[in-house]
């Protein structure tokens, strides 16, 4: 038996030259080709396990965002970002943390499975990783509540469960992975102005720094979603007044504050596309519900990135400039 395994290992170390050349080709893939191949992988795994492709897409997208946010997590080499640490994949007591033998991995309580039927369970192989994750979800069942329980067991964090669940709803609704488009939060034909004020000191409510960009405009100028995503929060906040929080597929939380009111149909759980009106410019905030007029009307726009443990503010100004430029270019072409 040992000899047979040895021959297998030798055989596959020879064959493993092939994926390296594939890797080089992958770099030349366009974004559209990448999405197409990724979707094909999700759908293939759905066929094997009955786990809906948009659940797989949601978790994979969440983990792609984590890889961007966590410094000690390597960038993915293939198309799938779901991450397994070597000890998790091979088994905590496995003396060979690079073990790819499904039998010994399972003996040492590792999670790694062979998804593409080549006889090895490789944690750097897209199909093996996706299949391993799908089999994990499958154990809990196929409906939304089962999915949430599986995610809770996996991440042990309510926020992660909510983000992944939100991603799944967005993918289910649009039926595609190509959801990268962005919009500027105000239509170009209104008067508005903004400067880079991120990090400025703020007086009201104790010593705080300004976690966003203020876009000044008149009352009731429409405020629009800047990305594909799901409304995570809607309502009153002492600082932000009437505010909306939208989570996009990059795990980024977009915070729209001081609104005069909300657009009809915008509720927690509503799925939005870039350019969808979500509310109207105002001066609400800095007090109890309904307080307004303590400062000139403007949209306070903030961006926060989740890293799986915590969330932090980053400067939205460069993104706003980019989306505004793109909107002008789009208008010119028409
Ligand atoms: Zn502000």
Distance (Å) from CA 176 to ligand 1 centroid: 34
DSSP letter at 195? -
- pLDDT tens string 211-266: 899 999 999 999 999 999 999 999 999 999 999 999 999 999 999 999 999 999 99
- pLDDT tens string 80-118: 999 999 999 999 999 999 999 999 999 999 999 999 999
Q: Is 13 a residue whose pLDDT tops 80?
A: no
CA–CA distances in Å: residue 277 to residues 39, 154, 180, 217: 29, 35, 18, 15
Distance (Å) from CA 238 to ligand 1 centroid: 13
Q: Is 292 a residue whose pLDDT tops 80?
A: yes
Q: Is 23 a residue whose pLDDT tops 60?
A: no
* 43 close to 53: Cβ distance less than 8 angstroms: yes
pLDDT band at 203, cuts 50/70/90? low
Distance (Å) from CA 209 to ligand 1 centroid: 10
pTM to 2 decimal places:
0.87
Distance (Å) from CA 141 to ligand 1 centroid: 44
Tell me the percentage of the chain whose pLDDT exceeds 70: 90
Comparing CA positions, the residue from 274, 190, 181, 282 lying closest to residue 241 is 282
The residues of the chain that CATH labels 2.70.70.10 are: 192-333
Question: For 37, left (φ over 0), alpha (ψ -120 to 50), or beta?
Answer: alpha
Distance (Å) from CA 85 to ligand 1 centroid: 40
Here the tokens at position 168 are 């799944």
Distance (Å) from CA 69 to ligand 1 centroid: 24
Distance (Å) from CA 308 to ligand 1 centroid: 26
Distance (Å) from CA 247 to ligand 1 centroid: 19
Distance (Å) from CA 214 to ligand 1 centroid: 5
Of the candidate CATH numbers 2.70.70.10, 3.90.1200.10, 3.30.230.70, 1.20.1440.230, the domain formed by 192-333 belongs to 2.70.70.10
Q: Is 14 a residue whose pLDDT tops 50?
A: no
Distance (Å) from CA 185 to ligand 1 centroid: 14
Q: Which residues, other chains included, contact 255 with Cβ-Cβ below 8 Å and sequence gap of 6+? A: 212, 240, 243, 244, 245, 300, 301, 302, 303, 304
Distance (Å) from CA 261 to ligand 1 centroid: 17
Only one residue has tokens 């391993």, namely 132
Q: Whole-number mean pLDDT of the chain?
A: 91
Distance (Å) from CA 193 to ligand 1 centroid: 13
- pLDDT tens string 163-175: 999 999 999 999 9
Distance (Å) from CA 296 to ligand 1 centroid: 11
Q: Is 11 a residue whose pLDDT tops 60?
A: no
Distance (Å) from CA 239 to ligand 1 centroid: 10
Q: Is 322 a residue whose pLDDT tops 70?
A: yes
pLDDT of residue 206: 62
């Amino acid at each position: 038996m040992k000899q047979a395994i040895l021959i297998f290992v030798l055989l596959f170390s020879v064959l493993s030259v092939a994926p390296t050349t594939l890797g080089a080709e992958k770099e030349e893939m366009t974004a559209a080709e990448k999405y197409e191949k990724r979707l094909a992988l999700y759908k293939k795994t759905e066929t094997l396990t009955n786990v809906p492709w948009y659940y797989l897409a949601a978790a994979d997208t969440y983990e792609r965002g984590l890889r961007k946010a966590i410094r000690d997590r390597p960038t993915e080499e293939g198309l799938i970002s779901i991450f397994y640490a070597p000890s998790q994949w091979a088994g905590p007591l496995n003396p060979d943390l690079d073990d790819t033998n499904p039998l010994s991995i399972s003996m040492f309580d590792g999670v790694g499975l062979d998804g593409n039927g080549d006889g090895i369970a490789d944690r750097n192989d897209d199909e093996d990783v996706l299949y391993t994750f799908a089999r994990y979800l499958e154990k809990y069942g196929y409906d939304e509540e089962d999915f949430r329980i599986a995610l809770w067991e996996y991440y042990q964090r309510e926020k992660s469960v909510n983000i992944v669940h939100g991603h799944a709803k967005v993918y289910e609704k649009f039926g595609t992975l190509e959801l990268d488009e962005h919009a500027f939060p105000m239509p170009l034909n209104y008067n508005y102005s903004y400067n880079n004020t991120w990090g400025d000191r703020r007086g009201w409510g104790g010593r705080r720094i300004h976690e966003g960009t203020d876009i000044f405009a008149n009352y009731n100028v429409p405020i629009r979603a800047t990305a594909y995503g799901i409304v995570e929060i809607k309502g009153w906040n002492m600082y932000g007044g009437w505010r909306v929080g939208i989570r996009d597929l990059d795990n980024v939380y977009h915070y729209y504050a001081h609104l005069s009111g909300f657009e009809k149909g915008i509720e927690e759980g509503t799925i939005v596309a870039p350019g969808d009106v979500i509310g109207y410019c105002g001066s609400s905030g800095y007090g109890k519900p309904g307080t307004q007029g303590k400062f000139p009307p403007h949209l306070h726009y903030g961006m926060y990135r989740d890293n799986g443990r915590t969330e932090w503010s980053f400067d939205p100004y460069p993104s706003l400039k980019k989306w505004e430029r793109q909107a002008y270019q789009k208008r010119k072409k028409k």
